[in-house]
Amino acid sequence: MSDITKCSGFNCPLKDNCKRYKAIDGMWQSYFTEVPYKDGKCEFFLGDESKSTLKKIILGCLVLLFVSCGTIKKSSSVIEEKTTTETDITKFSNSFTLEPVNLDKPILLGKDTIYNTRVIYNNSKETIKEKQNVDFKEEKKEKQVDYSETIKIVANRFMWLVGILFVLFIVLNWIKNKTTLL
């Protein structure tokens, strides 16, 4: 006996896919007084989702099977770089020279008083230009590991897992259908 309220399916386009129409009648079966299909919808529709779910699972497994196992590419690259460095260095120097002159006029330098001297300031600017060429060459190699055996082992175990899940899904759907349709 079905433990659901059944539907007569009169003028309902969804009745061929609805469990409320397809379920086997029990001794005391309840029915809707009117077909609940209105405005292109049925709020009490019980579709057979096991087939669509099974299709989604199979499609997902196939996509994983074809996409997940990839190949490993080996590559190495050589990087060559030529650079030219130009450097401009400007050096400023401030210095002074003391020369002997008149003895009557003293000069104060810091705390010292100096007689008979003249101060000559030497301000100089020196520019140094330097050009340097640098050649840089580096070979970059990526460490490669062969994963083919590991991929085979993982793929084999994955296929066993998918098979077991598939069988389990079929058995559970069969049990579910047998218990709800009796």
Residues 52-75 pLDDT 10s: 666 777 777 777 766 665 544 455
Radius of gyration of the chain (CA): 47
Residues 157 and 135 in one domain: no
* Res 36 pLDDT > 70: yes
> Structurally, how many domains does the chain consist of?
3
Residues 56 and 87 in one domain: no
The torsion angle over the Cα atoms of residues 164, 168, 169 and 174, rounded to 10 degrees, is 140
178 backbone dihedrals φ, ψ, rounded to 5°: -70, -40
pTM exceeds 0.75:
no
Q: Could you list the residue range(s) of the whole structural domain that residue 27 is in?
A: 1-47
Q: Report the SS3 class of residue 122.
A: strand
Residues 86 and 123 in one domain: yes
pLDDT tens for each residue of 114-154: 766 777 777 777 777 777 777 766 666 666 677 778 888 88
Residues 98 and 110 in one domain: yes
Residues 31 and 61 in one domain: no
CA atoms of 10 and 63, how far apart (whole Å): 41
DSSP conformational letter for 13: T
